[in-house]
Amino acid sequence: MKLILTREVAGLGLAGDIVEVADGYGRNFLVPRGAAINWTKGAEKQIAQIKRARDSREIRDLGHAREIKADLEALTVTLSARAGRDGRLFGSITAGDIAGAVKDAGGPALDRKRIRIDGHIKSTGAHTVTIDLHPDVVASLPVTVNAV
Query: Which domain CATH number covers 120?
Result: 3.10.430.100
Same domain, 80 and 29: no
Distance CA 2, CA 34 (A): 15
Buried b (16+ CB within 10 A) or exposed e, 50-70: beeebeeeebeeeeebbbbbe
Q: What is the pLDDT of residue 58?
A: 60
Pick the last residue of a domain from 15, 39, 57.
57
Same domain, 76 and 52: no
Written as tens digits, the pLDDT of the chain (148 aa) is 999 988 888 889 888 888 999 999 999 999 999 999 998 888 877 777 777 766 655 666 778 888 888 888 888 899 999 999 999 999 999 999 999 999 999 888 888 888 999 888 999 999 999 998 877 888 999 999 999 8
Nearest to 18 by CA among 28, 29, 41, 70: 41
CATH value at residue 14: 3.40.5.10
Q: What is the pLDDT of residue 68?
A: 86
Distance CA 79, CA 98 (A): 8
Domain of 93 in residue numbering reads as 62-147
Same domain, 80 and 132: yes
Total number of domains constituting the chain: 2
Same domain, 92 and 113: yes
For the entire predicted model, the pTM comes to: 0.63
DSSP state of 133: E
Same domain, 23 and 93: no
Nearest to 103 by CA among 130, 138, 79, 134: 79
